[in-house]
Structure 1
Amino acid sequence: MAAMMTMTRRVGKYELGRTIGEGTFAKVKFAINTETGESVAVKVLAKTTILKHRMVDQIKREISIMKIVRHPFIVRLHEVLASRTKIYIILEFVPGGELFDKIVHKGKFSEMESRKYFQQLVDAISHCHRKGVYHRDLKPENLLLDARENLKVSDFGLSALPQEGVKLLHTTCGTPNYVAPEVLNGQGYDGAAADIWSCGVILYVLLAGFLPFEEITLATLYQKINSAAFSCPFWFSPDAKSLIERLLDPNPKTRITIEEIRNDPWFQVNYIPARQNAEEEVNLDDVRAAFDDIEDHYVTEQSRHMDRGPLIMNAFEMITLSQGLNLSALFDRRQDYVKRQTRFVSRESPKNIISTIETVAESMGLKVHTRNYKTRLEGVSSNRRGPFAVVLEIYEVAPSLFMVDVRKAAGDTLEYHKFYKSFCAKLDNIIWKPKEHLAHPSLLKAMSS
């Protein structure tokens, strides 16, 4: 096969690899700290985008908050770097994916497992509240799992640090199904009580496998949330039911507090509070430098290119992608369809793969944008509430063997899962299905070398 392009990109001491997440305003890339060998995630934001959408203050706030709230159950922000055109937020790499994906896969959790995650969530949120930080967008998509299945709260983009002397917040934000009634009413609300309501919805979802409040129209959804019109399934224990009813109290003044949650008999079972290291001194100089003095403070950004072709995924990236050398997810779509980031393998030529993807996408009424070996598909979400977008990128994982990485870029996650299954069914003629789902010998050889 013709020589492929390898692209190594360095930002300061970090070697950037594949894209592991994509949103409207940012990409998240896997990277290696070349000085320590540590895996990190790098959130990349274009300065032009930040300025165009007037997001400078919001991004600065998110970064500052993540530096302030250092806790074992919160994704750690290491540092912030900037080039002349981009901001790089260096974050802890959390390999276990979203709690949301695990819920979709399992349906519901046992009380023991639900309690463990809820205890870790309460510990993290309690720490935030002590620092005067309110998350305001708590939901399973923003709760990640590390390699030991411990919770990591992420995405502080909607968090609030109230101004001095101001007790109530007024911005309506968050995801409707998880938002407290007082937030929807627009009368001003206590950020701590609003977060506790969201924790209650999350606990209900963990135990039930479905939402307490779910309606087709926003008007009826808001009505149910305002009156706290929900019922607990028969399998909830009396103690779990009692706690959820106190968490989902529509009156924020009588709603259970963090301290009361910690004293609750159901919560207390096997509870071991997080061991917190000594308070670290937080330095925000890098944040200020990244945004305020960009012409004077920037890092070297280097790219090295060879011949054009799909990116080559090296053995190390394959190991982190397959999480502990379990390669079945790369080759078995049935195991992998529940994940936000999905993928399939093909032995067709990259040009044929791209051509087939474009043809199928257009037949589904999607707009197609292809550049090199990366394709973005755009449409409107089924509920017409906003855009729906998917990004597909081709990697060479062994000679004549290509992995197509598929990522949701915009829209509802459950809708993306349905789209992925339907899309793959139409691509069946180019998807390689090895016998007994054994990995390609060349791939195994590459990974063992």
Structure 2
Amino acid sequence: MPGVSAMEQSKPAKWVVDPSAPEFVEGWSIVQTLGEGAFGEVRLLINRVSGEAVALKMVDLIKHPEAETNVKKEMLIHKLLKHPNIIKFFGCRREAHMQYMFLEYAVGGELYDRIDPDIGMPLHLAQRFFRELVLGVSYLHDKGIAHRDIKPENLLLDASDTLKITDFGLATLFRHGGRERFLNRRCGTRSYMAPEVLADTEYRAQPADLFGCGVVLVAMLAGELPWDEPTVTCDQFNIWKRRDASYLNSTPWTKVSTCVLSLLRRLLHPTPAQRMNIKQILEHPWMVKHIAETGDLPKKRSRHDNEWISNKRMCSELDSSFPAAFDERHACSQPQPTARAQPAEVNICAAAELDTDTLCFSQPAKPDHLLLACSPSDGDVSNMTAGGDRCTPLQKLVRRMTRVLVSSSMADTLKHLNDLFEKLHYRTTSHSPNVLTVSTVDRRGAALVMKATVLNMGAHILVDFRRSKGCGLDFKRQFIRIKEELSHIIVKGPVTWSLANASNMLPA
């Protein structure tokens, strides 16, 4: 299969394939659907002999002819990239009206799955993931490429918990042949977009991407987003923009330390010319200091806690270490362009740029609903709440899934779910007896769609939830709410079941 042989150098995870799984090409089977989008889907391919895994991104160009130009640009860009913090592009294949892309399968899932809503994640992890994100973005910018949709849903984790940037459906070339051009397309995800992108003006690519990185850092540290959108109509952003004392007494800023707050002040500066560049970010005291590892999830926290102000003396004057204003040539890692390249001179940039709502869908390898047969040495997934480092990587993966086991019958479980979804005012549709598609809105009023798959596991019923569309953090909030409402039928304590049996039950 074109491009797939490159996987041999990446030491992918080994999986055992159900013999009844459909075959894509000789020796490779389609095991599971990983993600969905407006113009296609991502499926997991497993080599029947070696057990190697690869993500297959597929777009039907007959159903979606408007996507063809952008898909070509995505492939042109992605095949140029080789970096530890970028999802690998193994190759592509065109068969009639179907366009296929073969990508690295990130077994650790999406970054948002590691963020506890309204709490965040352990500090040492947030620091490490953010550093890897910045290094990946730095590589892209050195190549003259802007991602333009940095968010946790487009950041994946491999088996070693290394962060990988994915989904280049909105990426574009902003520098070519030594000439830099301004961008003018308003695209991305509103909560993570820079204010200049939403202002319908021409903007520079690098500061806009870095602003999105800053919002991701807030999400990792606080478990919430700082604003719905960075515009004059958003109260949260206006408070932040004015820099008055009131923002220090509101979330998410009360959850971050003085030291990291000084980083965010510069990184999320409303004016691109006064935003930190990559070199300044990597040299910031919070980025270079050692943060002790802890296996505990963060508790509800405040920057007034002792552990958060231990470095207050080091960071108290940090705001004064950067000039209050500095010119455009200091704002980014590349100098201000003196001439704007015309689209014809940057051939890859001449491709149409479509809005994220109509095109973008992630590779995201969603472990939320993935049930595969494990190798004999892995055995059953048992005592999932215990064991820590003694668990296999597959067991750790399963522990992070958004699913519950319930003690009710199949019929009663479906009734419980339908009654609950009606109580929560969700819109529910069913395309098969045991799969419910649930639609609601997130905190911003944007669409949030998830699927609930109900599976008979023998002694118990498994209810498996995955996100189809919308904010990952809000999806997890909704899952937690659903789990609380179902607490009276959820099986308590350690859970044991056969992954091999389950692999035959989930639809591909």
Q: Same fold (TM over 0.5)?
A: yes
What CA distance in whole angstroms lies between the structure 2 residues aligned with 1:423 and 1:381? 15
Match of 1:392 in 2: 452
Matched residue of 1:369: which SS? Answer: strand
1:119 corresponds to: 131
Query: What residue is the counterpart of 1:404 in the other structure?
Result: 463
Write the deviation string for residues 356-384 of structure 1: whole angstroms up to 9, x where unpaired.
Answer: 54455456544443334552424341557
Cα shift at 1:157: 2.3
- Range moving further from structure 2, 103-112 or 140-149: 103-112
Residues 132-155 of structure 1: CA distance to partner in whole angstroms, max 9, x if unpaired? 111112122322222222211222
1:428–1:383 Cα change, 3 Å: closer
Name 1:9's counterpart in structure 2.
22
Letter in 2 for 1:315: A
**Percent of aligned pairs with the same residue?**
28
* TM-score normalised over the length of structure 2: 0.64
Deviation at 1:404, TM superposition (A): 3.0
Whether the 8 Å CA contact 1:346–1:403 is kept in 2: the answer is yes
Aligned to 2:76: 64
Which digits, 9 at most, give the CA deviation of each residue in 1:211-258, with x for residues without a partner? 4445899822554566577545486244x3433332222222232222
Q: Distance in 1 between matches of 2:397 and 2:152?
A: 18
Q: Is the 8 A contact 1:347 1:401 kept in 2?
A: yes
Does 1:342 pair with 2:402?
A: yes
The residue that corresponds to 1:286 in the other structure is: none
8 A contact 2:195–2:231 mirrored in 1:
no
Tell me which residue corresponds to 2:491.
433
**1:315 counterpart = 2:335:** no
Residue in structure 1 matching 2:429, options 369, 376, 384: 369
Rounded Cα–Cα distance in structure 2 between residues aligned with 1:19 and 1:218: 40
Aligned counterpart in structure 1 of residue 168 of structure 2, from 138, 153, 156: 156
8 Å CA contact 1:373–1:393 kept in 2: the answer is: no
Secondary structure in 1 aligned to 2:147? coil
The answer for the alignment partner of 1:182 in structure 2 is: 196
- What does 1:231-250 correspond to in 2, within 5 Å? 231=248, 232-233=253-254, 236-238=257-259, 240-250=260-270
Q: Gaps (5+ residues) in structure 1?
A: 272-310, 330-334
> Per-residue CA shift, 1:103-157, capped at 9, x if unaligned?
2269245554333222211110011011111111212232222222221122222
Q: Once the two structures are superposed, what CA deviation does each residue of 1:181-220 show, in whole Å capped at 9, x if it has no partner? A: 2112221111111112222233344344444445899822
Pair 17,183 (structure 1): closer, same or farther in 2 beyond 3 Å: same
SS in 1 for 2:404: strand
Identify the residue that residue 64 of structure 2 maps to in structure 1. 50
The change in CA–CA distance for 1:6 and 1:392 in structure 2 (over 3 A counts) is: farther
Q: Give the C-alpha shift of residue 403 in structure 1.
A: 2.9
Equivalence map 1:99-248=2 (5 Å): 99-104=111-116, 107-109=119-121, 111-162=123-174, 167-213=181-227, 219-220=233-234, 221=236, 223-224=238-239, 231=248, 232-233=253-254, 236-238=257-259, 240-248=260-268
Structure 2 distance, partners of 1:126, 1:423, is: 40
**Conserved? CA contact 1:22–1:408, under 8 Å:** no
Query: Are 2:441 and 1:381 equivalent residues in the alignment?
Result: yes
RMSD of aligned Cα (Å): 4.2
Are the equivalent residues in 2 in contact too, given 1:313–1:396 (CA < 8 A)? no
Deviation at 1:438, TM superposition (A): 3.6
Which residue in the other structure is 1:419 paired with? 478
Query: 2:271 is paired with a residue of what secondary structure?
Result: coil
TM-score (norm 1): 0.71
Shift of the 414–62 alpha-carbon distance from structure 1 to 2, 3 Å rule, reads: same
For structure 2, list consecutive stretches of 5 or more residues without a partner in the other structure.
Answer: 1-17, 292-368, 387-395, 503-508
Give the Cα–Cα distance (whole angstroms) in 2 for the partners of residues 212 and 428 of structure 1. Answer: 31
- Give the corresponding residue for 1:289: none
Q: Summarize deviations over 1:55-74 as a string: whole Å, max 9, x none.
A: 22222222332222221111
Q: CA deviation at 1:76?
A: 1.5
CA contact (8 A) 2:211 2:267 kept: yes
Which residue identity does 1:119 align to in structure 2? R
Deviations 1:332-366 (A, max 9, x none): xxx99996x52223566656655654455456544
CA distance in 1, matches of 2:190, 2:399: 22
Measured in 2, the distance between the counterparts of 1:82 and 1:320 equals: 37
